[in-house]
Amino acid sequence: MATDLQDAAAVAEQLGATGYLCDDELATVTYLALAMARPLLLEGEPGTGKTALAEALAQTLDLPLLRLQCYEGIDATQALYDWDFPRQVLHLRALEAAGGTDATEAEKSLYDERFLLARPVLAALQRAPAVLLVDEVDRADDEFEAFLLEVLSTYQVSIPELGTVRAATPPLVVLTSNRTRELHDALKRRCLYHWIDHPGLDREVEIVRSRLPEVPEQLARQVAGVTQRLRTDVSLMKPPGVAETLDWARALTHLGCADLDLATAARTLGALVKYREDADRVRQALDRMLTP
Amino acid sequence: MTTDPVTTDHPAEEILLGFAAACRAAGVPVTPDRSQAFLQATVLVGAENPRAVRAAGHATLCATPEDLVRHDQVFEAWFDKRGELPRTRPAAASRPVLATMPLSQRDQEAGESDDLDDDLDDDIVRAMSTDAEVLRRRDVASLTPGEKARLAALFDTLPARAPRRRTSRHQRWHRGQVDARHTVRASLRRLGEPAEIAWRRRATRPRRVVLLVDVSGSMSGYADALLRLAHRLTQTAPGHVETFTVGTRLTHLTRALRSRDAERALVAAGQAVPDWSGGTRLGETLAAFGDRYGRRGMARGAVVVVFSDGWERGDPSLLAEQVARLHRLAHRVVWVNPHRGKSGYEPVQAGVVAVLPHVDDFLAGHSLATYSELCEVIARA
């Protein structure tokens, strides 16, 4: 699958074509993940484009994206597979009504592929090559991590009734974590690690321009400038990420604003900050930044 | 870098593996399989490109953002200064460390200004934690403004937890009683085939905590700290902690303390309370609390904490009567007296003598350490 991606520069270029701009290092790591067939573990602040990378990769490589959103209490039946029990029972009843067949035959027919509900991990193995996104893996429990480890090291799943499902080509796995807890070292060792930071000013302007072509250059620069300064100068409970910058730029464009002014900025703050305390502080900071 | 004239007699993989070992020595947890992955990655990205090698090192050798910093330090030492051995940084511990000085002295030198130096390095931080230990045990009323500011930051470390009560409802659980309804439901979903047995247990909810803070003149030294404590408790169980100030009047402060930011909450509380450092008519204000809030349900089954030194100007018998009533309504009544922790304290004030038979716990409340104990008592109630 990495035929047209021969080095890091090609990866950066191809991803750029889909509207995802990445720096040298992220491009290199992504290239390595493709070339070494290793899972990619992305950590970073919320809203820095971890999930977006998986989406951009799927688009670039023209592969199906299978997404597994983790949450507290997620278990293997939600990640791997489950048997469709009602349909199996219906099948049995139908066999009964049709006038009995051989019992062993009937039992065998129960564990057929058509009664198997493939969840994202199994689906990724079956449909490989594919991109498997395991989103916010830090939200899942330790047991689930151990289970992921097993799948990621062998790229195979054994279903007792059916046999082993092995991926023809290993899927490209992207794990994201907001670092609300430390992942187990064994899982990390399987993966290539990358910490995604907030982008610099020029890069952020480029991202806004490429994601939202309708936003004028001047507005993009002003919006990115304000969020950059909010991240560094003002102590906020949740500093705005790139996702918030994009939301804000979009909101301003919807209002037909081509040049950022204090009144419009104050009205659209809801797109940028999500805490009341932050809103107060940002309002004061905006006063300082936008009054000439 | 393998083309570096100084090191041409070493094969590339030796240099790279040496680098991985140096990273391990610097504290990055590099395992042999990680070194192997590093070699493999370097082959892929090309060993002649230092930026790519650095990226490969980040991806394969590191596992946390802290590792990235260490990796970069080793990287520079290993590859950029080939002529010399990688040196350890000059030991920071060898120079005299100012932070071991007692906190109060430093504050006097620094005056009222911020005493957080710009060059806080590891050692100073470590020394400060012992200072914090001292600060935790100091009487709050005797602190200088600078120390109070430092102490304010420590309130976040209090082990505040809301007490729990059992509800009449049940929740699903992996053991306990059989949950017949869920078992049958699951079975019906499978067209009547027997399904897994569901279990349940009694659910718990946070128990309400009511804080009554005396803000009369004799308690003025503690008011700030007590409101910070109230704020901390409010933030751990929003909606389950109610705060009132009592003095000559009863003021409901819960709304003011709901702001996440402690400083804002305290300013809002300061504006809401009309009787700072006034007199004490504890009996009457407790009666007002009982009539207006407590009897209607706020104190029922709650943990009621009264912060007061018990210096009552009114009739002690009224106070006793009101506390007894509170005790009948509430799940537990805790009385916190700032003077109790001081040596030579005897509960002789008329007010304290009157209430003692009706309280479940009588605690000290003059320092952060005692507030920590109080948090434990509340959590276990």
Q: Which residue stretches of chain B are H helix?
A: 12-25, 32-45, 50-61, 65-75, 103-110, 122-137, 145-154, 180-189, 220-236, 254-257, 262-272, 282-289, 316-329, 350-355, 368-380
Cα separation, B12 vs B9, whole angstroms: 9
Q: Is residue B61 part of a domain?
A: yes
DSSP-derived letter for residue B331 is S
Of the three residues B184, B205, B226, the one that is the final residue of a domain is B205
- Residue A9 vs residues A61, A202, B190, B254: alpha-carbon distances, Å: 15, 19, 54, 58
Instruction: Kindly state the helix (H) or strand (E) to which residue B216 belongs, with its residue range.
Output: none
Residues B132 and B62 in one domain: no
AA identity, residue A245: T
Q: Is residue A281 part of a domain?
A: yes
Q: Is the per-residue pLDDT at B61 higher than 50?
A: yes
Min Cα–Cα distance to chain B from A193, Å: 4
The closest alpha carbon to A184, from B24, B64, B56, belongs to B64
Cα separation, A236 vs B51, whole angstroms: 33
Min Cα–Cα distance to chain B from A181, Å: 11
Q: Is the per-residue pLDDT at B98 higher than 80?
A: no
Say yes or no for a CB contact (<8 Å) between A32 and B29. no
Say yes or no for a CB contact (<8 Å) between B60 and A192. yes
Q: Is residue A2 part of a domain?
A: no
Tokens read off for B59 = 């991806």
Contacts of B128-135 with C-beta under 8 Å, sequence gap 24+, read B128/B99, B131/B99, B131/B102, B131/B103, B134/B102, B134/B103, B135/B103, B135/B368
A vs B: CB pairs below 8 A: 71
Q: Is residue A1 part of a domain?
A: no
Min Cα–Cα distance to chain A from B20, Å: 15
Task: Please name the member of A7, A182, A277 whose beta carbon is closest to the beta carbon of B261.
Answer: A277
Taken in order A49, A53, A59, A64, the sign of the CA dihedral is: negative
The closest alpha carbon to A67, from A82, A50, A55, A84, belongs to A55
Of the three residues A152, A177, A196, the one that is the final residue of a domain is A196
Residues A137 and A267 in one domain: no
Average pLDDT, whole number, for chain B? 81
Cα separation, B304 vs B327, whole angstroms: 9
Whether chain A has a CB inside 8 Å of the CB on B51: the answer is yes
Range of the domain at B127: 92-108+120-154
pLDDT score of B176: 86
Tokens read off for A31 = 């290239």
Q: Is residue A102 part of a domain?
A: yes
Cα separation, A136 vs A175, whole angstroms: 7
Say yes or no for a CB contact (<8 Å) between B68 and A8. no
Say yes or no for a CB contact (<8 Å) between B259 and A275. no
CATH of the domain at A15: 3.40.50.300
- Number of domains forming the structure of chain B: 4
Nearest CA in chain B to A83: B190
Cα separation, B44 vs A35, whole angstroms: 8
- Number of domains forming the structure of chain A: 3
- Kindly give the confidence (pLDDT) of every residue in chain A, 292 residues in length, as a single tens digit, with 9 standing for 90 and above: 445 678 888 888 888 888 888 888 999 999 999 998 899 999 988 888 899 999 999 999 999 999 999 987 788 888 888 888 888 888 888 888 887 678 888 888 888 888 999 999 999 999 878 999 999 998 888 888 888 888 888 888 888 888 888 888 889 999 999 887 888 888 888 899 999 988 889 999 999 998 888 988 889 999 999 999 888 887 787 888 899 999 999 999 999 888 888 888 888 988 888 888 788 888 888 888 877 6
Residues B201 and B214 in one domain: no
Residues A96 and A66 in one domain: no
pLDDT score of B248: 85
Backbone angles phi, psi at A6, to 5 degrees: -85, -25
The answer to whether the pTM exceeds 0.90 is no
Say yes or no for a CB contact (<8 Å) between A277 and B56. no
- Residue A59 vs residues A15, A18, A52, A64: alpha-carbon distances, Å: 9, 7, 10, 8
Min Cα–Cα distance to chain B from A275, Å: 10
Q: Is residue B113 part of a domain?
A: no
Cα separation, B3 vs A255, whole angstroms: 58
Cα separation, B151 vs B225, whole angstroms: 9
List the single best residue of B64, B193, B196, B255 to mutate versus A (max A Cβ within 10 A).
B64
Residue for token pair 């008011």:
B223
Say if residue B206 is preceded by a cis peptide, omega within 30 of 0: no
Residues A160 and A211 in one domain: no
- Residue A264 vs residues A231, A240, B24: alpha-carbon distances, Å: 20, 18, 53
Whether chain A has a CB inside 8 Å of the CB on B202: the answer is no
pLDDT score of B188: 86
The interface predicted TM-score of the complex, written ipTM, equals: 0.78
Cα separation, B381 vs B241, whole angstroms: 14
Task: Please name the member of A24, A185, A277 whose beta carbon is closest to the beta carbon of B55.
Answer: A24
3 state DSSP class of B208: coil
Range of the domain at A15: 8-74+120-196
Q: How confident is the model at residue B95 (pLDDT cuts 50, 70, 90)?
A: very low
Q: Which chain B residues have a beta carbon less than 8 Å from that of A277?
A: 259-261, 264
Alpha carbons within 13 angstroms on the beta-carbon side of residue A276 total 5
Residues B198 and B224 in one domain: no
Taken in order A22, A28, A30, A34, the sign of the CA dihedral is: positive
The closest alpha carbon to A245, from A45, A55, A54, belongs to A45
Say yes or no for a CB contact (<8 Å) between A31 and B44. yes
Residues B243 and B281 in one domain: yes
Nearest CA in chain A to B53: A28
Cα separation, B206 vs B228, whole angstroms: 21
Q: Is the per-residue pLDDT at B33 higher than 50?
A: yes
Min Cα–Cα distance to chain A from B186, Å: 11
Instruction: Kindly state the helix (H) or strand (E) to which residue A284 belongs, with its residue range.
Output: helix A276-290
Residues A191 and A208 in one domain: no
Residues A134 and A182 in one domain: yes
Say yes or no for a CB contact (<8 Å) between A32 and B260. no
Residues A21 and A41 in one domain: yes
The closest alpha carbon to B19, from B30, B8, B6, belongs to B30
Tokens read off for A180 = 């609300």
Whether chain A has a CB inside 8 Å of the CB on B41: the answer is yes
A181 in Cβ contact with A13 (< 8 Å): no
Min Cα–Cα distance to chain A from B190, Å: 5
Residues B218 and B191 in one domain: no
DSSP-derived letter for residue A165 is E
Residues A40 and A129 in one domain: yes
B281 in Cβ contact with B248 (< 8 Å): yes
pLDDT digits (tens, 9 = 90+) for B184-208: 988 888 778 888 889 998 888 899 9
Q: In what order do the strands lie in the sheet with B164-173?
A: B164-173, B199-206, B177-178
CATH of the domain at B253: 3.40.50.410
List the single best residue of A5, A32, A75, A191 to mutate versus B (max B Cβ within 10 A).
A32
Residues B358 and B263 in one domain: yes
Q: Which chain A residues have a beta carbon less than 8 Å from that of B37?
A: 36, 38, 192
Q: Is the per-residue pLDDT at B180 higher than 70?
A: yes
Q: Which chain B residues have a beta carbon less than 8 Å from that of A195?
A: 58, 65, 68
A212 forms beta bridges with none
Whether chain A has a CB inside 8 Å of the CB on B47: the answer is no
Say yes or no for a CB contact (<8 Å) between B45 and A7. yes
Residues A246 and A107 in one domain: no
**CA B65 to centroid of chain Cα atoms:** 24
Q: Which chain A residues have a beta carbon less than 8 Å from that of B51?
A: 24-25
Residues B243 and B350 in one domain: yes
Q: Which residues contact B216 (CB under 8 A, 6 or more apart)?
A: B247, B248, B275, B277, B278, B279, B280, B311
A209 in Cβ contact with A218 (< 8 Å): no
B349 in Cβ contact with B310 (< 8 Å): yes
B50 vs B213, more confident: B213
Residues B326 and B270 in one domain: yes
A152 in Cβ contact with A39 (< 8 Å): yes
pLDDT score of B86: 45
Residues B47 and B185 in one domain: no
Nearest CA in chain A to B62: A193
Q: How confident is the model at residue B123 (pLDDT cuts 50, 70, 90)?
A: low
Taken in order B339, B341, B342, B346, the sign of the CA dihedral is: positive
Q: Which chain B residues have a beta carbon less than 8 Å from that of A90?
A: 191
Q: Is the per-residue pLDDT at B336 higher than 60?
A: yes
3 state DSSP class of B325: helix
Tokens read off for A82 = 């489950």
Cα separation, A40 vs A191, whole angstroms: 5
A135 forms beta bridges with A69
Q: Is residue A280 part of a domain?
A: yes
Residues A148 and A264 in one domain: no
